[in-house]
Structure 1
Amino acid sequence: METEGIKYTGSKRLIIPYILELIKTLNVKTVLDGFSGTTRVSQALKKSGYTVFSNDTSVWSKVFAECYLMNRKPPDYYLPIISHLNKLKGRHGWFSENYGGKPNGGSSVQGDGKKRIWQVHNTMKLDAIREEIDNIAKNEIEKSVLLTSLILAMDKIDSTLGHQVSYLREWAPRSYSTMKMEVPKLIIDDKDHKVFQKDIFELIKNIKVDLAYFDPPYGSSNEKMPPSRVRYASYYHIWKTICLNDKPNLVGASNRREDASDTISSSVFEDFRKTENGKYIVSEAIKKLIVNTSARYVILSYSNEGRSTYNEIIEMFDDLKLKYDVLEIDYKKNVMAGMVWTKEWLNGTAENNQRNIEYLFFISRDKAKKFIPIESIKKQKEFDFRAYVPA
């Protein structure tokens, strides 16, 4: 199953097969993707026939969701529009001034001492195309499709390690290419999908779905790492600016949006502090999320690199007397490591510190259904990971 998206810290591209495998044994029709990010999970759910409710506070995530979930027009409709945009003559505008750089014999450091994310021949195209999208888009959904295409094109020719907090000192080879928009891989159906851009705690008060999938942003588990290093709003600030085209005030070496600063844009799920009882604030937020979600089934995706620990989450579920199971996926091995039956924290050894483990916590409130989803995957021994990973 193919999905698409930008380079993204925390992308769930590799675990989509496991999520779909868990859900397919259940009587589920509606699914909430509560922290949709690049919308890869939402795309896969829609392709699998579910009615998807997608939510994220990021502007660019909402744009992606409108493109992949709400659009009803076929790809052929967009071909001449995107062809027109690709043919526009570039011009030196706001994006070129702040994010475009000259080749400089391979160095991205410009005359002001700052590195740039794109070479100027591409930001000139960005300047021209972004203005034209506002002129020709007939409605918000069409605009979202065109913006998604533009962001995907710019993502392919950037000079970064996958985020926009800092840029490479030497131009990445891909940055010399010329950006080219393509029609996104649109998914057309007649289901009543919905897209939200709300605080998750407000949304779950007023939404009814069969299953809720939560993949909250992770605060780092490294006590020495400042929390400012893991703010998702800072990681992808330029995508927000491309969507809004609002030419905001910029700060710092990477010309971040002023409203993407750590103190303004932080999420409770990225909080590094502890409560008076010694629990991480993020753990309390996860508890609040689970308690207030009315769905019959909940899947919580969480990494061993997150601020909240495996032990804390398991103890929380036990205290709430939840019926749950855990699937552990080892990214290093690219195979399913199996179910976790112990409460031993897995970061206790040097070997485990090198592992990138994703946990899928499956919670069931369905008293009538036998509890078997994870067991059904476990019987497959080693899940044929590479055969099912979406592109």
Structure 2
Amino acid sequence: MILKNKNQVNNTQNEEKKEFAIHSRRYLGAKTKLLPLIEDVVNKSIQEWHSFTDLFGGTGVVGNRFNKPGKELIINDLLFSNIHSYHTFFSPEPFDKNKVASILQTFNEADVKEDNYFSINYGDKYFTKENARKVGYVRDKMEELKQTGKVNNREFSILFTSLMYALDKAANTVGHYEAYRKNLDMFNPITLLMPALTENETNQLNKIYQRDANELVREINTDILYIDTPYNSRQYVDSYHLLENLAMWEKPELEGVARKISSEDRQYGKSKYCLKSAPEAFDDLIQHVNAKLIVVSYSNMAEKGDGRSNAKISDHEMISSLEKRGKTISYEQDYKHFTTGLKDIDNYQERLFVCHVGQ
């Protein structure tokens, strides 16, 4: 029997208590630093509200800021991986925290020596071979737990989200999976933690969707509609193809150096807001909104980056669409742009366009 000294015991206990927050993730366009401005603008713009809709949810950090007891949060995204995160943090479904923690501990203690689908495709590329073997093993075990009914839907999503956040800390990338770095220098072990979750009472009225935003907006009624569309031609399903493959876990053949699922299999996640037709799509969206307040995040990227990074909707086009529905005010904040690791953007700003519908 190996005896641990007091410091070792305390360190072990602290490690067991470590949790991750919803914002503890690198993600293109994440609005974590913009949250104080968004909340301040909303509070100034509307006195009472019952429902908040995050139509292009992404990481879910904006929805999380407005997820409050007695309020309805509606959150939507096209990506399967993000939907799991929403079920983790926002679902009203009960879950057994002790059971989930025990499963996570078992996963962390696993010593995997054999190759699997994930390690064959992503090992020594996006992750070390050792980490990739563990990821594939853990994902297979998660699937077994789901298929045998040993975890409910939310418990499964919690396990998946824990794995997804763990990958972010060990990935040989610059924060997305469009490509991996040539030199493998990320050796952090895969460690799955418990998410920091609110009491279930907070989530009782919440609704989670995986729908085309222009279709969904025709069906919902909300007090506040927050819109954060993709800004440029970079499709999120392409940047996060690895997480989508992990989420669906159909183990398809992969393509190219970047080991992507096929272009055909990625069509479900393609956004019209990354195309030249984005202004028309935005106008259609805004004209069918049923809300008291519309809040739109959009950068001043314009022509500041390369061709793929330039904004698809001009300020004139955006304001014109919003002013058809009501009085529109703009706010701005200097921002550190999350690039693909190649260069910084000068004078980059995030703006909020706030439309008071019917005024």
TM-score range (shorter-chain normalised) is 0.7 to 0.9
Aligned residue identity for 1:196: Y
Q: 1:100 aligns with which of 101, 123, 127?
A: 123
Higher mean Cα deviation, 178-187 or 45-54? 45-54
2:354 paired residue number = 362
**Aligned partner of residue 9 in structure 1, secondary structure:** coil
2:104 paired residue number = 82
Counterpart contact for 1:96–1:127, Cα < 8 Å: yes
Unaligned stretches of 5+ in structure 2? 1-20, 302-310, 338-343
**Aligned partner of residue 290 in structure 2, secondary structure:** coil
Q: 1:332 to 1:163 in 2, by over 3 A?
A: closer
- Does residue 35 of structure 1 match 2:56? yes
Aligned residue identity for 1:213: Y
Unaligned stretches of 5+ in structure 1? 102-115, 220-226, 274-280, 334-351, 368-391
- Does residue 136 of structure 1 match 2:145? yes
1:61 paired residue number = 82
Pairwise CA RMSD of aligned residues?
A: 2.2
1:248 paired residue number = 252
1:317 paired residue number = 322
Aligned residue identity for 1:82: L
Q: 1:257 aligns with which of 256, 261, 264?
A: 261
Aligned residue identity for 1:316: S
2:304 paired residue number = none
Q: 1:135 to 1:294 in 2, by over 3 A?
A: same
Q: 1:75 to 1:49 in 2, by over 3 A?
A: farther
Q: Within 5 Å, which residues of 2 pair with 1:199-214?
A: 199-214=212-227
CA distance in 2, matches of 1:321, 1:69: 30
Aligned residue identity for 1:218: Y
**Structure 1 residue 78 displacement after superposition:** 2.3
CA distance in 1, matches of 2:178, 2:107: 28
Q: 1:233 to 1:250 in 2, by over 3 A?
A: same
Q: 1:52 aligns with which of 59, 64, 73?
A: 73
**Structure 1 residue 317 displacement after superposition:** 3.3
**Structure 1 residue 92 displacement after superposition:** 1.1
Counterpart contact for 2:297–2:351, Cα < 8 Å: yes
Counterpart contact for 1:234–1:260, Cα < 8 Å: no
Equivalent residues, number: 314
- Does residue 196 of structure 1 match 2:209? yes
Q: 1:194 to 1:316 in 2, by over 3 A?
A: closer
Q: 1:150 to 1:260 in 2, by over 3 A?
A: farther
Q: 1:293 to 1:5 in 2, by over 3 A?
A: farther
CA distance in 1, matches of 2:94, 2:33: 27
2:95 paired residue number = 73
**Aligned partner of residue 67 in structure 2, secondary structure:** helix
Q: 1:264 to 1:366 in 2, by over 3 A?
A: closer
Counterpart contact for 1:5–1:40, Cα < 8 Å: no
CA distance in 1, matches of 2:231, 2:211: 19
Aligned residue identity for 1:362: V
Alignment TM-score, normalising by the size of structure 2: 0.82
Q: 1:265 to 1:143 in 2, by over 3 A?
A: closer
Identity of aligned residues (%): 25
CA distance in 1, matches of 2:296, 2:38: 10
CA distance in 1, matches of 2:267, 2:222: 33
CA distance in 1, matches of 2:161, 2:240: 14
**Structure 1 residue 206 displacement after superposition:** 1.3
CA distance in 2, matches of 1:210, 1:181: 37
**Aligned partner of residue 256 in structure 1, secondary structure:** coil
**Structure 1 residue 249 displacement after superposition:** 2.3
Could you list the per-position Cα deviations for residues 173-195 of structure 1 after superposition, in whole angstroms to 9, with x for gaps in the alignment? Answer: xx212110000111223221111
Q: 1:157 to 1:52 in 2, by over 3 A?
A: same
1:270 paired residue number = 274
Aligned residue identity for 2:284: K
Q: Within 5 Å, which residues of 2 pair with 1:105-254?
A: 116-137=125-146, 138-172=151-185, 175-190=186-201, 191-219=204-232, 227=233, 230-254=234-258
- Does residue 299 of structure 1 match 2:295? yes
Counterpart contact for 2:78–2:268, Cα < 8 Å: no
Q: 1:120 to 1:15 in 2, by over 3 A?
A: same
Counterpart contact for 1:303–1:359, Cα < 8 Å: yes
Aligned residue identity for 1:357: Q
Aligned residue identity for 2:123: G
Counterpart contact for 2:22–2:195, Cα < 8 Å: no
Q: 1:48 to 1:331 in 2, by over 3 A?
A: farther
